[in-house]
């Protein structure tokens, strides 16, 4: 067990020396702004916040913290969903939002070098001038650094992959303050060990990322979309498997359950059948590439209603259903909180997972909405609860745990895209078996004093 030092006046003076008084704060307003993410996990303020602007500053901060045993937690947009950036041991919070420059767009290499504090939407706005984009889209306007830390993914993963598939190279400052480069600018690389993927998804527990080289993709010229209603989840998943199996390469392949369709009707008057739906998108060589084959597959699997859209504008209308789910749930349940379940299982187990999650809710008199990235087997469920009711929150956590354990039994994962953070730590042990010990050894190797984001990933 590591022991940590509380920040003394001498530490504060040394930190101010590194970043200057303007980019350093111990004001409670600043501490409170960095005390919690978007999850239900308990808030915990840091002792001080800094806003570095260079790798050299990050390096100097870590040298100091490592020598003095001060916990260091990195911060992006605060949009994490598993308590990942909550500084549970206090210490120093490193807010990367002032390291938010695009260092270089190498359009002809389909690459960009960016600082970790830039947000996904800022980056994509700039990239669009080159006809390019960075696909991973977790919904929230997360920072690229945060997405690297949590290996975020989202709706477009089925075609473009997760963050880990779209990061080529990182500059990382180790716990001892040394900056290293992992990965390369080559699109293929078989040299040495793959340290790049060790750092992606490590939630700031192995090093702090100070520069990221991203793989870019051409902006699609064509869009089409299909929203199809089915009588049951089995038909939904057969449709998903058939779409993937036909090689149609959708850019999104989503699931909405009956309850979600119902409130979208209430809130948005979409006129959906109140049954499970599949929502898919294609970015083919033409507006209707993929569309006709997809329609045939939907019909063959007993679709009871099909809406189609060709072109970006029509597609956007159809996608409202999916994009506004979170806000719609908020409006339909004013004053209530949502716990977002995030599990991922092999495709053939998805119907079991959906059925089990629904039953777990019903058995405990809870209510929730199931949707998610069905093409990846990634189920989300937003469980509704009253934040002021401690017993209900405890029940929600317990039911979430039951669902996560079932996902692991189905040979899936305890977290598809939100990371291990605080809440998934007990399940990481169960999921990884003896491999968790190797993870622990690597943590010990790279961060022997345990200063980097303590209290995360490992119990």
Which residues in 359-388 contact its own copies (CB under 8 A)? 373, 376-378
Count other C-beta atoms under 10 Å from residue 20's C-beta. 13
Nearer to its own copies, 242 or 267 (CB): 242
Binding residue for its own copies, selected from 328, 415, 449, 453, defined by CB under 8 A: 415
For CA atoms 5, 7, 10, 15, the dihedral sign is: positive
State which of positions 186-215 bind its own copies (CB under 8 A). 186-198, 200-202, 206
Nearer CB in complex with its own copies: 179/332? 179
**Mutual angle of helices 291-300 and 233-245, in 10-degree steps:** 140
CB of residue 451 to its own copies, shortest distance in Å: 17
Distance between CA atoms of 330 and 332, rounded to whole angstroms?
Answer: 6
Q: Does 428 bind its own copies (CB under 8 A)?
A: yes
Of these, 53, 109, 274, 405, which contacts its own copies (CB under 8 A)?
Answer: 109
Q: What distance in Å separates the CA atoms of residue 93 and residue 359, rounded to the nearest whole number?
A: 41
| Nearest-angstrom CA–CA distance, 400 and 162 | 24
Q: Which residues, numbered 70-99, are part of the site for its own copies (CB under 8 A)?
A: none
- The correct pick among 71, 146, 416, 455 for binding its own copies (CB under 8 A) is 416
Q: How many CB atoms lie within 10 A of CB 333?
A: 17
Find out whether 268 and 324 touch, Cβ atoms under 8 Å. yes
- End-to-end Cα spacing for the chain: 11
Query: Contacts with its own copies in 327-366 (CB under 8 A)?
Result: 344-348
The reply on whether position 160 binds its own copies by CB under 8 A is no
Out of 121, 180, 394, 459, name the contact with its own copies by CB under 8 A: 180
Q: Give, as ranges, the residues between 273 and 312 that touch its own copies (CB under 8 A).
A: 283-285, 289-290, 293
Distance of CA 176 to the CA centre of its chain: 28
- For its own copies, the binding residue among 73, 150, 258, 308 (CB under 8 A) is 150
- Is residue 246 involved in binding its own copies (CB under 8 A)? yes
Nearer to its own copies, 187 or 331 (CB): 187
Bridge pairing between strands 337-344 and 305-310: unpaired
Quick check: 129 binds its own copies (CB under 8 A)?
A: no
Minimum CB separation of residue 346 from its own copies in Å reads 4
**Cα 216 from Cα 208, distance rounded (Å):** 23
């Amino acid at each position: 067990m590591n022991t940590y030092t509380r920040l003394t006046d001498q530490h504060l003076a040394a930190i101010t020396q590194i970043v200057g008084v303007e980019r350093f704060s111990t004001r409670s307003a600043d501490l409170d702004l960095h005390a919690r993410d978007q999850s239900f996990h308990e808030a915990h303020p840091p002792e001080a916040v800094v806003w570095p602007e260079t790798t050299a500053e990050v390096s100097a901060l870590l040298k100091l913290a490592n020598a003095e045993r001060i916990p260091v937690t990195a911060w992006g947009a605060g949009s994490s969903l598993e308590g990942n950036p909550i500084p549970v041991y206090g210490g120093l919070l490193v807010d990367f939002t002032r390291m938010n420059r695009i260092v270089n767009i190498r359009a002809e290499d389909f690459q960009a070098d960016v600082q970790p504090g830039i947000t996904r939407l800022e980056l994509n706005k700039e990239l669009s001038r080159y006809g390019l984009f960075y696909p991973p889209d977790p919904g929230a306007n997360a920072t690229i650094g945060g997405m690297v830390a949590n290996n975020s993914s989202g709706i477009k993963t089925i075609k473009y992959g997760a963050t880990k598939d779209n990061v080529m190279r990182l500059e990382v400052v180790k716990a001892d303050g040394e900056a290293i480069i992992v990965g390369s600018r080559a699109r293929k690389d078989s040299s040495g060990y793959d340290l790049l993927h060790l750092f992606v998804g490590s939630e700031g527990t192995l090093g702090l990322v100070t520069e990221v080289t991203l793989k870019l993709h051409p902006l699609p010229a064509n869009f089409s979309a299909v929203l199809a209603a089915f009588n049951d989840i089995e038909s939904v998943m057969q449709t998903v498997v058939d779409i993937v199996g036909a090689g149609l390469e959708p850019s999104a392949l989503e699931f909405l359950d009956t309850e979600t369709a119902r409130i979208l009707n209430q809130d948005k008057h979409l006129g959906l059948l109140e049954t499970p739906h599949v929502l898919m998108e294609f970015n083919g060589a033409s507006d209707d590439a993929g569309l006709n084959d997809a329609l045939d597959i939907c019909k063959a699997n007993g679709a009871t209603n099909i809406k189609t859209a060709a072109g970006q504008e029509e597609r956007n209308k159809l996608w409202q259903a999916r994009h506004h789910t979170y806000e719609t749930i908020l409006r339909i349940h004013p004053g209530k909180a949502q716990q977002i379940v995030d599990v991922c299982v092999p495709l053939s187990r998805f119907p079991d997972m959906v059925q089990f999650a629904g039953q777990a809710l019903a058995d405990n008199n809870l209510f929730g909405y199931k949707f998610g990235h069905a093409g990846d087997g990634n189920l989300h469920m937003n469980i509704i609860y009253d934040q002021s009711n401690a017993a209900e929150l405890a029940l929600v956590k317990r039911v979430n745990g039951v669902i996560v354990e079932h996902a692991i039994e189905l040979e899936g994962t305890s977290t598809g895209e939100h990371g291990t953070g605080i809440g998934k730590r007990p399940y990481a042990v169960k999921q990884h078996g003896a491999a968790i010990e190797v993870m622990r050894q690597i943590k010990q190797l790279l961060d022997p004093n345990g200063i980097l984001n303590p209290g995360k990933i490992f119990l």
